[in-house]
Amino acid sequence: MSRGLRRAVGAALAAAALTVGLGACGSGDKAPAPPAEVVLNRGQDTSMPFRTGAEGEVLLDVTTAAPGVSWGSPGSESAVVSLFVDNTYATDVVIPASFPIKRSLALGHLAAGDHTLRAQFAADRSPQAAASARLTGFTFRTVTPQDNGYQALAHAPVVYGRTVPLPTAGSPDAGAPSSATAADPLAGGPFQNAITDTPLLAFHSEAPTAISGHRLLTYSMVWSNEDGGTSAPALMAQWGRTTDIEWTYQVEIDAAGNAIPGSAVIQGPDHTTQPFTGRSEGGHPLLGTCTLNNGMCQNPDGPMRFALSAADTLDPNADARERQMDRNPWTYWVMAQEVAREGKVDENKAPNSTTKISDPRNYLYLIIRKNTVGTPNTENNWVGLSVGVRLSGNGETYRSNKIYPLWAIEQDTPAATAVELPPGTVAEDISTIEATRVVGAGIDRGARITVDSIERAFLLGPDGVPQQSFLFTPAKATLSQAAPTATLFRRPQGGS
């Protein structure tokens, strides 16, 4: 294990050790002590008691690892553990690595009192080479109706796994995974999220509505990739990642926390907004993943279930959604493992390949705070931003969007992108970072782009997790038809 990954793992274990001491929130009696470690061999299960001191939404923090498992290795991509609360199926946990990863899961609304958590090694949905799973750092947290954040948890969706067929070999779909073969019993079947496009994180955002005291709750999920839709190089250029981050469910609530009838919607196929008319479990809507780019549908029938904690909140006007990945650096490792395993990485690719990327460790990952001023962007007419990077002693400009206008960054507020650089590039090699206004589609109607800052810039380390960001800097610039390019960062001569 590399030094960078050891640091990430050590931090995860330290955080787990800290939270174990917190016990169950609101508990007046001493809660049963969770086991220090649970090891499940294939097909085994075990039960443990826990107590909630008050009624509320219960979260479980747990650190997972699976010896011999690696998300990038066909046949041993993961080990899956299914969790049951009082004999009711709560969630699957897809464990993608042999090193420890801290996960936060939602166990649902529980009454005060004694409960039982059963953990089962799910042999039917685990790749054949996965032999065991290790769970440590169990912490049960109850969020009561009186606590901040309760309403966001009380309305959070449960997402069932995808069962739609994967693209066949030779499919023109740029996202078709190489693992979609008859030789893999999980590919394209009801347990496909054990090896592809698996849910990694969930979070929510809140915004006031036109009615005083009302709030709009929007729930989002991070998947490890998308097997359909945007190609890997376009994802890197436009979003700075090959994971898929999508909003799944949205609902308006009143001051008392009640859902406003008719306000609930989902993001359906083709990114359409559809009324939610499906089943719920208490206050939790039940959604299904029904497209290759992770669109939602009503009334799921898939056998895999994902109840990830949506307690984390993100203000989309203040932070890019990719910040959720930054807070969970292991997600970058999973991301890189999946695109490599699925044949989307090629070190000998054409420089402007539309289907392949190079090793994700060769990219500079940036967040730029920008806004479009003047004529608003529309689907058919828009201007975007391209980031260019120059290296010391190298006359070439490496561009985020390569040669493709449609790969420019269209979205405003903080926006992420990634720039492919030569293998072995380190932060000190970067001499300048510039922004260029690009007509992405249609007619140039003269809109300007204002840039306020570079919010973060990092490379992945040898272990595939982010190195520390080396740059946060104001970068005031206005890009126009007459002056489309501006330098955002210039490394001082002789400085670091």
> Which is higher by pLDDT, 37 or 184?
37
Q: What pLDDT is stored for residue 494 in this prediction?
A: 63
| 186 confidence band (pLDDT: 50, 70, 90) | confident
Q: Is residue 366 part of a domain?
A: yes
Tell me the Ramachandran region of residue 174: left when phi exceeds 0, alpha when psi lies from -120 to 50, beta otherwise.
Answer: alpha
Q: Is residue 112 part of a domain?
A: yes
Residues 126 and 195 in one domain: no
Q: Which of 93, 121, 143 delimits the end of a domain? A: 143
| Residue 171 pLDDT class (50, 70, 90 cuts) | low
Pairing of strands 284-289, 158-160: parallel
Which pLDDT band holds residue 169 (cuts at 50, 70, 90)? low
Contact yes or no for 470/484 (Cβ under 8 A): no
Residue 318 included in any domain? no
Structural domain that includes position 218: 150-306
Instruction: Tell me whether residue 234 is exposed, middle or buried, using C-beta atoms within 10 angstroms of its C-beta: 0 to 12, 13 to 18, 19 or more.
Output: buried
Same domain as 172, residue 114: no
The whole-model pTM stands at 0.92
List residues bridging with 102 in a β-sheet. 63
The pair of three-digit structure tokens given for residue 261, joined into one six-digit string: 């009838």
Quote the number of domains for the chain: 3
Question: How do residues 59-85 score in pLDDT, each as one tens digit?
Answer: 999 999 999 999 999 999 999 999 999
Does residue 262 belong to any structural domain of this protein?
yes
What are the structure tokens assigned to 55, written together? 């009624």
Per-residue tokens: 110 = 């529980």
Q: Among 97, 114, 143, which residue terminates a domain?
A: 143
139 and 155 fall within a common domain: no
Q: Which of 102, 123, 143 is the last residue of a domain?
A: 143
Cα within 13 Å of Cα(323), Cβ side:
18
277 and 405 co-located in one domain: no
Across the range 122-148, mean pLDDT stands at 97
The continuous run of DSSP H or E covering 39 comes out as strand 37-41
Query: Within this chain, do residues 440 and 460 fall inside the same structural domain, yes or no?
Result: yes
Identify which has the larger pLDDT, 410 or 181: 410
Residue 243: what residue type? T
Tokens of 178: 């190489």
> CA–CA separation, 427 vs 432, rounded Å?
11
pLDDT (mean) for 469-491: 96
Residue 421's pLDDT band, with cuts at 50, 70 and 90, is: very high
Residue 18 has pLDDT above 50, yes or no: no
123 and 161 fall within a common domain: no
Residues 154 and 139 in one domain: no
- CATH number for the domain spanning 120: value is 2.60.120.260
- Going by the DSSP 8-state scheme, the letter that residue 491 receives in this structure is P
pLDDT given for residue 58 in this prediction:
98
- pLDDT at residue number 184: 72
Summarize the chain as % helix, strand, coil (round to 5): 15, 40, 45
299 with 190, same domain: the answer is yes
Instruction: Name the region of 310 (left: φ>0; alpha: ψ -120 to 50; beta: rest).
Output: alpha
Q: Is the pLDDT of residue 150 over 50?
A: yes
pLDDT in the model for residue 166 = 80
CA distances from 245 to 42, 160, 198, 224, 240 (A): 32, 16, 12, 9, 11
Percent of the chain with pLDDT over 90: 86
One domain, residues 205 and 254: yes
- Mean pLDDT estimate for the chain: 91
Residues 62 and 80 grouped into a single domain: yes
Is residue 70 within 8 A of residue 97, CB to CB? The reply is yes
Contact 414, 369 (CB under 8 A): yes
pLDDT in tens, 310-330: 999 999 999 999 999 999 999
Pair (52, 186) in one structural domain: no
pLDDT beyond 50 at 46: yes
Residue positions counted in the chain: 496
Provide the pLDDT for residue 55: 98
Residue type, 277: T
The backbone region for 333, taken as left when phi is positive above 0, alpha when psi lies in -120 to 50, beta otherwise, is alpha
Same domain, 170 and 297: yes
